[in-house]
Amino acid sequence: MRFALGIEYDGSQYCGWQRQNNVVSVQETLEKALSKIANEPINVICAGRTDTGVSATNQVVHFDTHNVRKEVAWTLGVNTHLPKDIAVTWVKAVDETFHARFGATSRRYRYIIYNNPLRPAIFSTGLTFNHYPLDEKLMHKAAQFLVGEHDFTSFRTVHCQAPSAVRTIEHCQVSRQGNYLCIDVKGNAFLHHMIRNIAGSLMRVGRGQEEVEWIAEVLAAKNRCLAGVTAPANGLYFVDVTYPEKYQLPSSPLGPIFFN
């Protein structure tokens, strides 16, 4: 049987999603918990691999198993074997055509910034802190240059191994709730550090260091050296992934916490 799982995790204590030697990853931790319930080795495939320190509110994975278990075993049962910063949020049996990664039609991330002269204490590991005043309206205006199909070479790390830098962004919105800014980006796929590099560049615009049109110039230049610095990993969340309606997967609030 094949199952799809909804997963959320606080990535601050993990070296990213992907299983690696000699470090703790979200994937390895989840697979160990699933294997205990299945009583056989379980390998999972995720919708979008996240980097060190990056969190998720709606990660989707799939796995295959030969053993029959009640759905509650894959949720409550697995959660008893997981640390408190990783949790299964839903499970659904799917047919063999479902693939968490290759079947996804879009992915969505949110980058959360605490914008205040003084640092926060509560939720401090789940956001990035910027003490300079940021104009979210200018940031939103600049972000619209990124919408559509573009070559995002200027916004990917030099170590990115993707054969093409062309991606399609459906929306890139910047909003504020009190001291919290949210950069909300949805697209078909993303390059290594792409969201964090976009966030770092938009913060330059919000701070008044660059004009709104600067984002368009950086995008057209296809030169990583011209964009802003890479924003910290804490504050970045994988919040949603879209699949064809025929799978009828459960939906959950995007988060994190107070963002609708």
Query: What is the spatial distance between Cα 237 and Cα 108, in angstroms, rounded to a whole number?
Result: 9
Closest by Cα among 219, 243, 100 to 167: 219
Query: What is the spatial distance between Cα 136 and Cα 40, in angstroms, rounded to a whole number?
Result: 50
Q: What type of residue is 10? A: D
Q: Is residue 51 annotated as a catalytic residue, yes or no?
A: yes
Angle between helix axes 194-207 and 136-143 (nearest 10 degrees) is: 130
Closest by Cα among 192, 140, 138, 145 to 164: 192
Q: What type of residue is 157? A: T
Active site residues: 51
